[in-house]
A and B are shown apart, each in its own frame.
Chain A
């Protein structure tokens, strides 16, 4: 025995194992445990699913009441045939977990502020943000309420959770999804709370921009003064074509909110309050969507057609999962959320429905005065009131816990205080009032829509919807079409909640919620269609304040309504073309303005070249077109030239005017006050001067874009569908798809139609759909991204919506999983 080599060799062995068993830091992130990750019997190789994988199987589930058969079609869409409703959700939970477990857990971890628990201290800021936003608080409130008031919903959510857990329990250690191995953690038990957390996540994504815009708008008002602010962030939209047609007469409102007497000094013009910085995380501005329904009078078949494409962040695995659920009470198909039971957007034998975001302001800040830094008492209606403290413990991987003590006021949680602040929120305690914190039966809406047979059922179903407010489009086989904006909407006085509100008394509090019957609705209009694209729902005749106009994009709605007005004899194929329309109505209105103020005789040869590309563009933002790149670059340069001088000295984030603000100003006013460059004292610049400067700057930018070969719109825009962890190798990059902002096909670089659906309500429902993802969440499975190319090129799949007896012999059904009682 040679002692030195022995020791050396033993140390080497142990050291090697130690290193290979450890996550090593590499450039800001960590490697997986390499030995584990590469081990063919434990690690990622186990997630390499065979291309011809067999999904047939028999599963025994404890507590299942009847038999459930699941037919899986050639696109990996499960068709659940259950004898009993609760069983159907039990199995839906199991299937969501089977195909999407990691994503379901990850998304609810984000919502619950638990990212640091799995990735470490670099994500503490994200977790703090979500905890202080009251995400867990809101989820708990909702769960408590539903469990007390909606037994059928509770039963569905609990059965769903049992299904998820049955799948998790069936997993052997080597079978856990790929991402768990990559990040080195394990699935935990699923709880019903997670379904409510997911609901909170959607509320956040669709309404919580307000948590940032209110701060920005307050900064902007403080910086510019109310008058200039009102021009830059105007509440007037001349081009608006609202969801409910102009000229509609509204009943007298049940509630008339009282404007506080001191609104001018204490609110609109109250600049003494100082300024605030903005939050670290902001939901996408483009979160919007299109939906419309055309009546039988306008279709070739004489039956209605309903279309919907919700625009959300484009991610892999996708937010959506297709499923058919068939029980004796209902037979429904559509897109479901992994994390929630039932179908969210879809159709059944009798009706179809689709949603777009209402964009109404349901989130406000109140400026609170506390007695001292302990935040135990705050001043409210003339006396000190006790504040509860909510303790949120953030667990951190390989590090100590971080505790957030959040003061709870009459309005809600104090999001910003002396502990959690930005450099300019000093001294401010901002309490958050948000409808998502309020308990409600929102999820019951989808449960009931899945079972709805007619217009009345639809109306009853959506009356439960609270947050985030949606425009629910509807069409029935019996021939009705309708759209209603539904949610918990605050009866506001004008500009209430656009800025931080005073919180020391109840004068500025919400005075009431608009009664459900008064929410904007239209059924079977004479024009033969209903539509929405996130624009303001009504004209100014509606008796309630809808919120700042900057919350509402106007151009997609114009495009849709213009097209639908002229169309007749419509087929589902026509509707596919409309959803994929790349026509830019904003450019149609803006291009003449650009050309009007451009003095071509003063342009250089290079500048002329780009102006001529702009002139010759057919206004369609197609993949190969160069016009849209030129147009967008010139327009962005123009906004920069016009506004940058005014905005440059603002220390805080004051936002940026929306596209319509400049366009509508230039359309009606040739002497725009912001055209003048405030940094030049000897000259008063005109719009024409701005345009020359913008073209000069745009030309420089376009030349460098041109040199790198990216002048074609598709290349310039460079659409991608990113993995939730933003890992390029697991994402789909450089997709050839046109469209963009202000366009019906609203696909930007990382955002756009997340599910396109067309339902023709003929005797046998004829439906089409596609989403930018695939049914399987595993990057090692061929169904991971199998729809992405079809989605990019505008191809649709005929959705297989069939009864069980037909499923048995349908050629497209590839596999069967049978579930029986254990």
Chain B
């Protein structure tokens, strides 16, 4: 239960802080860290919750842009980066990048908090 709440909270706060687009893109590291402090979990679970919260959020947000765009831009960016022109891979990489930063921030918080 804690795990699920933690994922949802991470995603919600990351989304909210992301609305302030004048703030840097990595501002969610702080909100994910706060969630890690607020909800006491095992380190691994804290990392996974942080990771999944932002990874899922980013993939959903990206897909909400990508689908109405009919994958036009994602296909171009996926061959520019280069990811073989696959928009699916690009969506996954997007999730991975956001997820890793968030996961490590949550992990750091869990170590600070100590053992549950």
Contacts and interface: CB of A to CB of B under 8 A. Distances in A.
Given A41-B19, A50-B69, 4 more contacts: A13-B108, A16-B100, A45-B65, A173-B22
Interface string A666-682: 00000000000000000
B62 A17 contact: no
Interface of B: 15, 18-19, 21-22, 24-26, 29, 43, 58, 61-62, 65-66, 68-70, 72-74, 76-77, 79-81, 85, 93-94, 97-98, 100-101, 104-105, 107-108, 111-114
Given A48-B74, A51-B68, A35 B111 contact: no
A185 B7 CA distance: 34
Contact of B104 (A9, A34, A45, A779): A9
Given A49-B69, A730-B76, A40 B111 contact: no
Nearest to B93: A38
A34 B98 CA distance: 10
Given A17-B101, A34-B97, A45-B61, A10 B68 contact: no
Contacts of B68: 48, 50-52
Contact of B70 (A40, A42, A51, A728): A51
Interface residues of A, number: 43
17 contacts: A5-B43, A9-B107, A10-B108, A13-B108, A16-B104, A17-B26, A35-B25, A35-B97, A38-B93, A39-B18, A39-B58, A41-B25, A48-B73, A51-B68, A178-B73, A780-B69, A782-B72
Interface string A38-67: 111111111111111000000000000000
B26 A20 contact: yes
Nearest to A1: B114
Contacts of A52: 68
Contacts of B18: 39-42
A174 interface: yes
B73 to A, nearest CB: 3
Nearest to B58: A40
A271 interface: no
A6 interface: yes
A727 B70 CA distance: 21
Contacts of A38: 58, 93-94, 97-98
A761 B72 CA distance: 40
A335 to B, nearest CB: 25
Contacts of A48: 65-66, 68-69, 72-74
Contact of A13 (B19, B29, B73, B76): B29
Nearest to A52: B68
A779 B76 contact: yes
A781 B69 CA distance: 8
A12 interface: yes
B21 A13 contact: no
Contacts of B29: 13, 17
Interface in A148-203: 172-174, 178
A40 B62 contact: yes
Contacts of B66: 45, 48
Contact of A20 (B61, B72, B97): B97
Contacts of A49: 69, 73
Interface string A6-40: 10011011001100110000000001001110111
A80 to B, nearest CB: 28
A729 interface: yes
- Label chain B's interface by main secondary structure: helix
A40 B112 CA distance: 30
A805 interface: no
Contacts of B61: 40-41, 45
Contacts of A43: 25
Interface in A773-796: 779-782
B40 to A, nearest CB: 12
Nearest to B81: A31
B98 A729 contact: no
Interface in A314-335: none
A563 interface: no
B88 to A, nearest CB: 14
Contacts, number: 121
Contact of A45 (B15, B24, B62): B62
Contacts of B15: 41
Name the 10 nearest CB pairs between A and B, nearest first.
Answer: A780-B73, A40-B61, A50-B68, A48-B69, A6-B111, A41-B18, A13-B104, A39-B25, A729-B80, A9-B108
Nearest to A178: B73
Contacts of A172: 21
Contacts of B79: 728-729
A173 B65 contact: no
Contacts of A16: 100-101, 104
Most buried by B among A17, A36, A39: A39
A729 B77 contact: yes
B77 to A, nearest CB: 6
A2 interface: yes
B69 A174 contact: no
B52 to A, nearest CB: 16
Contacts of A35: 25-26, 97-98, 101
A39 B104 contact: no
Nearest to A47: B73
Most buried by A among B61, B70, B77, B97: B77
Contacts of A728: 79
Contacts of B62: 40, 45
A462 B72 CA distance: 43
B97 A44 contact: no
A789 to B, nearest CB: 15
A117 to B, nearest CB: 23
A742 B45 CA distance: 70
B108 A6 contact: yes
B101 A6 contact: no
Nearest to B85: A729
Contacts of A51: 68-70, 72
Contacts of B19: 41
Contacts of A729: 76-77, 79-80, 85
A12 B104 contact: yes
A728 B79 CA distance: 9
A40 B64 CA distance: 9
Contacts of A782: 70, 72
Contacts of A780: 69, 72-73, 76
Contacts of B70: 51, 782
B68 to A, nearest CB: 4
Most buried by B among A1, A5, A13: A13
A9 B85 CA distance: 34
Contacts of B22: 173
B112 to A, nearest CB: 6
B80 A730 contact: yes
A356 to B, nearest CB: 35
A780 B24 CA distance: 23
B35 to A, nearest CB: 14
A178 B19 CA distance: 19
B77 A44 contact: yes
Nearest to B100: A16
Contacts of B73: 44-45, 47-49, 178, 779-780
Contacts of A40: 18, 58, 61-62, 65, 94
B72 A1 contact: no
B9 to A, nearest CB: 18
A38 B100 CA distance: 13
Nearest to B22: A173
Contacts of B77: 44, 729
B42 to A, nearest CB: 12
Given A48-B73, A729-B80, A173 B108 contact: no
A748 to B, nearest CB: 25
A48 B114 CA distance: 43
Interface in A394-436: none
A13 B105 contact: yes
A344 B51 CA distance: 54
A779 B75 CA distance: 11
